Chain A
């Protein structure tokens, strides 16, 4: 039972990182500037790398492997937060998600670094070093777009989703950091229709040859 609780916790983190990385990678080749093509591709690579490291720990708990956890579950078995699932091919909304996700992730990572689970705390500390650069990127863009009405609207739209990334006890800290009022969260557990669409594409190649060694 204890192992299951640990695996569930790891899967929430890993699924968030895999799916947000997948969404970030959608900008590769179509970002508004070449520099942002490079930035989003690199961020996506980091996030998916974090997912891999977290899945590997979870896989030991569940006696499976990281690829099976990433690709062989049904969409309703993923534990990611709705924030990362949204298909947002709009720059203002994408930056709003990056900013809110990184702020929420920072609160979560800070809590994990102090956790009694030393393996998870060490991994969180390593992830934190890399996330520093994602936060700087988000901070830079949020600063540029701060006065744009479309960006403000996107922040308001995504705020309940951002709260849902965190367990309730950590939400006041996120609200304090971003300067918004705590409201009802869009909770983890029920998926948006966009996750199933993403899953179809994400797992298509692997499902085309079940049991293959890649």
Chain B
């Protein structure tokens, strides 16, 4: 019989399908693991609803649990429980090292244009905050595009949601 700790450890190896430098556990989308005999119940919550990787994640979680010799019951919970504040400190550092600026902490209210146009966003390559907004949207729903005036190159910024 597996323990919840073993399941969590196994799930830590599953990379995000679109940002493989970070695991689903670091991303904070695995919400709960319950072991009931040979049956493992995993709750996870999608980042963005339009994310095409949803099915890939569900399948990866199922396969990982089954590889431990348990029966997998993966439940997708669509509620408001995930925000970018759930990304772990280790996960944020992995994003930055891969050239993807981690999301700013979620402020009391929703993000504003004034915030996006401010100098609060740090370039993941050179560390300068002399960066400007290029596009609110990017190659996936979770990213914006910015330009670093200091090292003169574009970079992707994880959106705060």
Could you list which residues of chain A lie within 8 angstroms of chain B, going by C-beta atoms? 35, 38-39, 41-43, 45-50, 52-53, 56, 119, 122-123, 125-130, 132-133, 136-137, 139-140
Given A39-B136, A52-B49, A130-B110 contact (CB < 8 Å): no
Is A50 touching B50 in the complex (CB atoms < 8 A)? yes
Interface SS, A side: helix
Q: Is the interface of B mostly helix, strand, loop or mixed?
A: loop
Contact across chains for B79 and A123 when beta carbons are under 8 A apart: yes
Smallest CB separation, A43 vs chain B (Å): 7
Q: Is B135 an interface residue (CB 8 A)?
A: yes
Which residues of B are at the interface with A, using a C-beta cutoff of 8 A? Answer: 48-52, 78-80, 82-83, 110-113, 116, 134-141, 145, 159, 161
Partner of A46, one of B49, B116, B145: B49
List B contacts of A126 (CB < 8 A).
49, 78-80, 82
On whether the beta carbons of A38 and B141 are closer than 8 Å, the reply is no
Q: What separation, in Å, do the CA atoms of A41 and B136 have in the docked complex?
A: 12
Report the minimum CB–CB distance from A79 to chain B (whole Å).
20
Q: Which residues of A sit under 8 angstroms from B111, Cβ to Cβ?
A: 132-133, 136
10 additional contacts (CB under 8 A) given A42-B141, A125-B80, A140-B136:
A38-B137, A47-B50, A49-B48, A50-B49, A126-B78, A126-B80, A129-B83, A129-B110, A132-B161, A136-B116
Max chain A Cβ within 10 angstroms of own Cβ: one of B80, B110, B112, B113: B80
Q: Is the CB of B141 within 8 A of A129?
A: no
Judging by beta carbons under 8 Å apart, are A133 and B135 in contact? no
A136–chain B nearest beta-carbon distance, Å: 5
A129, chain B: closest CB distance, angstroms: 4
Chain A: minimal CB distance from B32 (Å): 16
**Cβ of B49: which chain A residues have Cβ within 8 Å of it?**
46, 49-50, 52-53, 126-127, 130
Give the nearest-CB partner of A46 in chain B: B50
The complex places the Cα of A125 from the Cα of B50 at a distance, in Å, of 15
